[in-house]
Each structure stands twice: as C-alpha cells, then as structure tokens.
Structure 1
Amino acid sequence: MSQRPVGRLILLPILSMATIPMLVSAHVDPTKFTPSAFVEKPAVVECNLEDGSSAQCYKFTVAYQPEGLEIGPFCPSNIDEKGGIWDWDGEKAGLYRLDRDFFEMLADQGYRFYDKDGRIVISDPGSGQPPEADHTCLMATPDKDVTITMLLPIEPRMAEKALSLGTVAKVGVALDGVPIFADAPSVLDTGHLPALDVCGGHIDPGGWYHWHATSTDIATVEKTEGVAVNCALAQDATAAFGFAFDGFPMFGSLEADGSKPEGLDKCHGHMGETRLGKTYHYHASTEFPNLPTCLSGVVAENNFSTTSSTGIGSQGNARRGPGQGMPPGFEEAAQILGVSTEDLMNALKGNGQRPNIAAAAEKLGVTEKALRSALPQPPQHAR
C-alpha cells in the first residue's frame, strides 16, 4: 500500500528569481476577493518572511465559513446513503464517493467503518475525546464564533528553493476567504477517515471550514477520476481560485483561453499571462488532490492563526515561552492523527524524559507507526 508524506516542510530545488529576469508579478489584490470574504477590512502590515527578509503583507481575517456557502455532505449515516468523497490511497487507489461500494471495499481490506446494522461509526475530532472504535468517519462540528487570520506577502518573491507541501500543509486562501490545505491525512496512517464533502472540503477540529482541493475546478477531477458528484460551486477550469501563501495566484487546470498550460514546473506553476496580468502562477491538476505540491515563493512567518482553542493555528497551541505551550509541529501532528492537540500532549506525557510511544498510540486509538510518522522529528545536533 502506498504511503502519503507526513505534514512536514521539505526544501526542494527550484529556479531562483535571478533565473527569471522577465518575471512580472501580479501582486495580491484584496479587490479580487468576494466582498463578503473578510470580517475585517484587509490591512497592510509589516511582516517577516521565512527567508529572513522583511516585507509588507496583507492581513486577512475571515469567518469560520463564508456566508451562504453550501457545504457537505460529509459522513453518511449508513452505507446505503451517499456522503462526500475520499481519495483512497490503499489497494484499488482512487477518488471515491462515500457509499456502500466504497465502505464495503475498505472492509474487505480490513478497514470496517460500519456496524452490523450498516450504520457508519462517526466521531468528532474536535470533541476532545479520542475515537472509541479503530475505524471511524471523522466529522467535526462547526464553530460560528471562530475567525481566522492569514498573512500573504503583497509583492511575491521567488524562493531559492521550493517549499514542499506535505499532509495538511498550508497552501493558501481562496477568493471567498476559505483557507486551502494540502492533502488530508491518510486512513492508512490513522485508521480514521476525515471525510471531504463533494467540493473537496471539510471542517477542521477547530470548527472552521477549509478545502483540500481546487473546488471551482473539481468537476475536471471528477471527470478524470470517473466519480459523479455535484459541487454547488460554479465550475470554471480557467478561473482564478485564490492566492497561495507565497502571494502567487492559483488558477484552474486551463489557461484563460481554454488551452492546456505548458511548461509547468514541479510545483505545477509557470510564468505567463493571466487574467490578473503577467506573473508566475499555479494551475490545478486534473487528478485529486488538484493543488500545488510545493510553493515556489517565500511565505511569511506565522502566517496562519485562529481564535479557536484547538486545531491548526489555535490560540491554545501558541508557544508562551521556553518550555511552555505546544511544541512546533504538534498542531500538524494532531491534525494528521485526527485527535485534539490536548489529547496528543496528554498521551505523550510520562514519568520519564521520553514518552512511551506504544502506550500513547494505544491511548489515542491510532497505530504506533502512525504516531511516530506524524510527530515532528527531533532536531539533529552536531557532534
């Protein structure tokens, strides 16, 4: 069975700015967003980029979910209903609708998500309680009070090396204000299925909605994968979807004139004319997940935070000083495992200096391999 990368950032070689002398950058433009996307007027702030340089960033604050956005379905209540979708990466890999055929296929492979009466076992990853069963369909509860703040460089800069996007890594923000994240955690790693709706999104344990796909071009993916679903969003393979966290725009799988993009790099981006001007930009792929696999530009430090008490970017996980708060990478690990950050930290606490991984995995209801894979690697010390 195939394994997905864990949510860590890896540096990959890419063309530097110096190698693209004719680059003209279409800067991040708040006027391109849906007027109702923001709960506060976008502000220009000073920010630090991850290459050590300083810049100006737009500060965007959005709600837990755009007003009027139709989301769902996610987990069906039983195997005779149709839920959302899932990109299965085990035997018979591919994009599937969450229905009887899919769940019976998983059961044949040792992943049974329903009881003897055909009812789907559902758990809420934001409840603070680990799943009681070995295999559950994850469906978080929305929190209408949560807001999300994001920082995007106003003037994008190409990086010396591309930033790889592993599981649940931050990709960008859509034009309606919905955050965009990389591939969702694999069932093979956690045993649990964080169901996506028919537009490729779901609710974070922190209570806010986000996408794991270019949802305005998901019809192209469905056609390629042979899955019939009906995303309520208007579909346009040539349209702008949003801006990546490095400030470069993201488009559907086709150019503005309807042609297929040429000369795409490893991040699925290239230089060219767009509806936003001449700039480096990303294109959606035709297979799921149809997002960039890496970012070619430099992102801002601390570019994502929420008012939630749990989940990625939550205030409760902010480091409060040396030896206090949430260690770096633990938010992402909790998201990958489908548990709360509090449960992850509590499970890893022990009497000794080193946690008992096997005991912690049992307490969390995940495999020891999944826990080790999700946890951030310790820093390498010079000898």
Structure 2
Amino acid sequence: MSHKHVPYLGAILAVGFTQPLFAHADEAHDRLALFASYVAKDAVVGEPSIVDCTPSDGTETSCFVIAVSGEPEGHTIGPWCPTNILQTGKDAGGIWLDNGEVYEVDGPFISKLDQFYDDPVRQLFNPETGEIRVTGTLEGCRAAARPNVDPDENNFCVQCEISFLTQSTEQNYVLPGAPVFGDETTPVTDTYGTGIAFSGARIDGPAPRDAILAAHTLAPFDDCGGHVTPAVGYRYHANDPAANAILPCHTAATGCSLSGWKTTCDATLLIKAHGPGARDDV
C-alpha cells in the first residue's frame, strides 16, 4: 500500500484572511479586470460583468458575475482508476485520502481494499482476470457518483470522464467585489461549492466519503485533487481537512471563495475559508 509523495502541509486549500482580493481597488471595473486576469482565459465563457447585489449581510454593493466552462485550464485532468490490479506506479491512477494520509490508487491498492477497510465484501475487481470494475459510461457514472449509490454500482471504481458529458457544465458565479463577513461560520456543502479556482474549476467541500465507502465503491481524485461529476464537470473535491498535504497543481493563490476572499494554500482549513459566515449566497 503506497503513499503518494506530496509536500507536507496543514491542509489542501485555505483562505488568506488578511488579503482581500478586491477590497482596495478604486473602481469596480478595475477590480473586475484584476479578478478576470487571475482566471484562466480559456476557461471563461463570455465576458465577466458587474451587477448590483445585496450579500447576506444586507450591504448594497457591486458583485462580479463570471461564467466558466466546467473544465480546468493549466493542467491535465485524471487519471483516476487503474484498469487492472497488476498496474502499478503513480500513473496507474489517482489518489485517495484516508485518516490524514494520501494514497496512490494503483492496482495493488485496489486489490487490498478489503484488508484496508477490514471488509471482505469490498472487491472492485474480477479475481480471475484482475480486471477492475470501472464506471465506463455516463449512465454508470450518474448511478455511482451520487450520495445514494445505485446498488448495481456497488464495488466499482467510480470514474467520470469529461467526454461522457452530453450537457453543458457551464457554471455562473456571483462574487462580492469586497469580501463579506457573516455572523457565524456555516458548514461547507456541495450545493453551491465554496468558490472558484483560478484554473476555472469549482472548489468544493470534502466528498461524501461515508456514502462512497458504504456502497463499497471508491471515487478517487486525480493528483490535483479533482474529479468529474455529471452535473458540475471537473471540480476540486479533495480538500479533506485531515489530508495534511498540499497537492502539486496548486499555486499559492488558488482561487476566490464565494464571499470574495482569495483562497490560498496555507495551514488554515478550507472549512474556515470564508471567515466568519462562511457562505455568502448573493
């Protein structure tokens, strides 16, 4: 059972609380231009714009509206699942997070999941051929990549490809021009995501690990901490506060939270990424 070699840090993605991305610019259009310059141009759909908005604190202000394609720019996505238990090495598959460790998802890792989780029912491969059961269609992906996993997709390695998707995964984001504080911290959920990465991908909270494991499935992340889901496209989903690692695809400035704060890679947990009043649904 091999560990993925990544630099050791306190968390994967977090916020720089003292560094608002927009707050000190003089003009709304200058702030928008600054923000747009951070985001990968090929990931942006149309032109970013400015709208009047009222965030959750009741302040009347200006917000930036930006649409992205659902596929990141600047790095190759995947791989996720190996195809046979004999496949070894870092290029065989992606990563899995468990108990503060990052593991390489190669063939031997898949073959020993029953021992890893002390669960004799967990077998994601054909014992005669060594072939790993991988969700290879959009229908299989939809059935497996959800909290209530279809029983027919139990004991599968869940892998969704951008090429499977038949509908647009374009996402619109509305971000306050000046960072917003709420009265209290709220939990990170998958309903809206937690922000937008400068690669153009959505940043999300931790994956529904308990549901994944209850169905005897595995839904690996690639080395950048992301995977594809039918409704959203590619998103960074591997921000488990226990991971104790920073994945190699991310620079110091990673993106922007929905409340207007720049997310950075440092030792603060992502669940605190928005400061007090984590979500700002404008």
Instruction: Provide TM-score, normalisation by structure 1.
Output: 0.52
State how 1:132-143 maps to structure 2 within 5 Å: 132-142=152-162, 143=165
Q: In the alignment, does 2:243 pair up with 1:243?
A: no
Contact 1:88 1:95 in 2 (8 A): yes
State how 1:265-280 maps to structure 2 within 5 Å: 268=268
State how 1:106-185 maps to structure 2 within 5 Å: 106-108=113-115, 109-110=118-119, 111-116=122-127, 117-123=129-135, 126-127=138-139, 128-129=142-143, 130=150, 132-142=152-162, 143=165, 145-166=168-189, 170-185=193-208
Name the aligned partner's letter for residue 134 of structure 1: N
* Equivalent residues, number: 229
Deviation at residue 78 of structure 1 after TM alignment: 1.4
Could you tell me how far apart the structure 1 residues matched to 2:214 and 2:273 are? 22
Could you tell me how far apart the structure 1 residues matched to 2:59 and 2:151 are? 43
- Structure 1 residues 49-82: Cα deviation after superposition (integer angstroms, max 9, x where no partner): 2345543221110112135641110111112222
Contact 1:125 1:138 in 2 (8 A): no
Contact 2:19 2:261 in 1 (8 A): no
Instruction: Pick closer, same or farther for the CA change 1:68–1:251 going to 2, 3 Å.
Output: closer
Aligned with 1:94 (options 101, 108, 123): 101
Deviation at residue 150 of structure 1 after TM alignment: 1.1
Question: Identity over aligned residues, as a percent?
Answer: 24
Deviation at residue 124 of structure 1 after TM alignment: 5.7
Could you tell me how far apart the structure 1 residues matched to 2:19 and 2:125 are? 53
2:69 corresponds to which residue?
63
- Structure 1 residues 325-381: Cα deviation after superposition (integer angstroms, max 9, x where no partner): xxxxxxxxxxxxxxxxxxxxxxxxxxxxxxxxxxxxxxxxxxxxxxxxxxxxxxxxx
Instruction: Pick closer, same or farther for the CA change 1:212–1:180 going to 2, 3 Å.
Output: same
Residue ranges of structure 2 left out of the alignment (5+ in a row): 1-16, 23-30, 144-149
Name the aligned partner's letter for residue 247 of structure 1: G
Give the secondary-structure state (helix, strand or coil) at the position aligned to 1:132: helix
2:79 corresponds to which residue?
73
Name the aligned partner's letter for residue 152 of structure 1: L
Contact 2:86 2:108 in 1 (8 A): no
Contact 1:124 1:205 in 2 (8 A): no
- Structure 1 residues 84-108: Cα deviation after superposition (integer angstroms, max 9, x where no partner): 001134xxx6221112332233122
Contact 2:51 2:65 in 1 (8 A): yes
Could you tell me how far apart the structure 1 residues matched to 2:133 and 2:42 are? 36
Bigger RCO of structures 1 and 2 (CA < 8 A, at least 6 apart): 2
2:216 corresponds to which residue?
191
Residue ranges of structure 1 left out of the alignment (5+ in a row): 1-19, 223-230, 254-260, 262-267, 269-284, 286-290, 304-383
Contact 1:174 1:242 in 2 (8 A): yes
Contact 1:74 1:83 in 2 (8 A): yes
Give the secondary-structure state (helix, strand or coil) at the position aligned to 2:274: strand
Aligned with 1:43 (options 40, 49, 55): 49
Instruction: Pick closer, same or farther for the CA change 1:175–1:207 going to 2, 3 Å.
Output: closer
Could you tell me how far apart the structure 2 residues matched to 1:158 and 1:98 are? 39
Contact 1:64 1:148 in 2 (8 A): yes
Instruction: Pick closer, same or farther for the CA change 1:156–1:190 going to 2, 3 Å.
Output: farther
Deviation at residue 174 of structure 1 after TM alignment: 0.9
Say what the alpha-carbon RMSD is for the aligned residues.
3.1
2:234 corresponds to which residue?
209
Could you tell me how far apart the structure 2 residues matched to 1:80 and 1:219 are? 29
Name the aligned partner's letter for residue 248 of structure 1: W
- Structure 1 residues 101-146: Cα deviation after superposition (integer angstroms, max 9, x where no partner): 3223312222221121221112268524435242211112323743
Could you tell me how far apart the structure 2 residues matched to 1:158 and 1:125 are? 42
Could you tell me how far apart the structure 1 residues matched to 2:73 and 2:253 are? 20
Q: In the alignment, does 2:36 pair up with 1:26?
A: no
Instruction: Pick closer, same or farther for the CA change 1:162–1:219 going to 2, 3 Å.
Output: closer
